[in-house]
Amino acid sequence: MRILAFAALILVGCTPIKHPQSHTEKPPAPVVTDLKSYYLAVQYAIQSEFYDADHYIGKTCNLRIDLDDKGQLSGLHVYSGDLSLCTAAMDAAKQAELPAPPSAQVHEQMKHAVLVFAPQ
């Protein structure tokens, strides 16, 4: 079971983030019920604070976020990527209002998630 959870986290953690073009075009926040919807909600919260994605088109950043049991940010680590994009992604993550995980199991799987920022 632990291998399956790790595999799911790796697959979910590698999904590129598409940033909104402007702060006014926000779709509704995802409903959080499971691992995938929690990942999408975290992704949405960070994207909502990332305003200048057009400046970083064609660049990438791999950022690990550490979350506490309430879903709050407890650490940020840049794995690789463009320094300016990674800095902007870290700033957005720090400003984001992250949702609480729906269960202890989901928290365990998401507490060290890798997000791939790749504005398109």
SS3 113: strand
Q: Are strands 73-81 and 16-17 parallel, antiparallel or unpaired?
A: unpaired
Q: What is the CATH number of the domain that holds 24?
A: 3.30.1150.10
Average pLDDT (3-20) is: 44
Is the separation of the CB atoms in 5 and 106 below 8 Å? no
Calculate helix-pair angle for 2-13, 35-47, nearest 10 degrees.
Answer: 30
Average pLDDT (74-85) is: 95
Identify the DSSP state of 46: H
pLDDT in tens, 100-117: 999 999 999 999 999 999
What contacts 79, CB < 8 A, 6 or more positions away? 62, 63, 64, 114
User: Over the chain, what is the mean pLDDT?
Assistant: 82
Backbone torsions φ then ψ of 54, nearest 5 degrees: -60, -25
Higher pLDDT among residues 93 and 13, named by residue: 93
Average pLDDT (33-40) is: 92
Band (120; pLDDT cuts 50, 70, 90): confident
Across 8-12, 14-18, 87-91, which has the greatest mean pLDDT? 87-91
Band (51; pLDDT cuts 50, 70, 90): confident
pLDDT confidence of residue 3: 37
Domain of residue 67 covers: 2-117
Q: Tally the domains of the chain.
A: 1
Helices (H), 48-115: 83-95, 104-110
